[in-house]
Structure 1
């Protein structure tokens, strides 16, 4: 009963604070330790949405991320999502976005299953925060370059890696037609309400079937690899639709 109460309180806190927790962010055995933390803050500007893109990468390829905590320290009006890498990878890209006219303040913590990493100095890691302000003016040449780059790539998202013994526990196509000037959005949850999942998620493959760069953007907003649940957010570009195939691999232990 106590564990259920704690779980309910934790879920309520996640919903209200826009925090994101994936993987193992606490381990009593001490095998999972925090290897990096960073405070990201942007002040509010009237009528403007503040954005931050945070990139973290290990210096060597044999070290893998085991947990990520993106803690909302503001008023819960911002959004946090993992757009690339993450659990099972040596790198992660995190996007933070405020509501219009609001600021944001997050504490980002990264955990790894490698005790020696905790003793290294922060200078051994590659960490960058890209600050953007929508009031900045861009030249036409730069804008055309960005449009060309966007049109030449899809927006697939792969988290984790399926191995021998893993099975497909969920697969679905999510398609929504576009409407002029409208941003379409879908939220997928596994398992669905009223169902139970007894397998631990090992990998998540979200394939963008629009290969010309006009497709939407996928992100993990809760749960994920190492957990028994996941919440996936799909968001279209303005005026465009969504066409994704979501495949989740799990293992029964």
Structure 2
């Protein structure tokens, strides 16, 4: 039994699994660089910590269930006249999550609401927060089936234990009485426990029509807007501006 094998097994026993898998390369690098014992030990511990953090981020990204991966660096701020670079940097700092503030992103389809919401969610995960992304349609379905399916129970448990919940396409469809009640109870559970990012193409003043109950709408708005920043992304659809045409530069009319 070689010493290297014994070292690998001891590292696994001590739950330093990442280092165990890489120890031979770390040893060779230390020998090449003629590192001191202290430097070598620091390299080992630093590597283990870095890999654990990376795996934790990978795990949280998987749990977040983003529909696609787009960071804030991919966000074209030049397309958004209503959002300055300073404001975007303030959002990126994420102090609003620590203060339990909510972010409401309003604007027409294709204005960049979902991209911005996902970018903030990814940034939050990198900074150690637990994040969940859900569309409004998916959320309502999960709430309605929570009592009867284990999958929905697990999903709702993650949502309620998150630091940041992103709800996309809020109020894109009307809710019945039961759905509105379930949504209210979730917002009530998250109130003072998590931050929420909401994206919607409808103003909060129009939400009442889609919920069908003025009292529930008022209760929901009271909890969401109590601490909230409302950002209007009123530019033309980014997807329409940058769409690919089968006709090249020619329009259908030409």
TM range (shorter): under 0.3
Of structures 1 and 2, the one with the larger relative CO (CA 8 A, separation 6+) is: 2
Query: TM-score scaled by structure 2?
Result: 0.24
Q: TM-score, normalised by structure 1?
A: 0.24
> Which structure dedicates a bigger proportion of its chain to helix?
2
Larger radius of gyration: 2
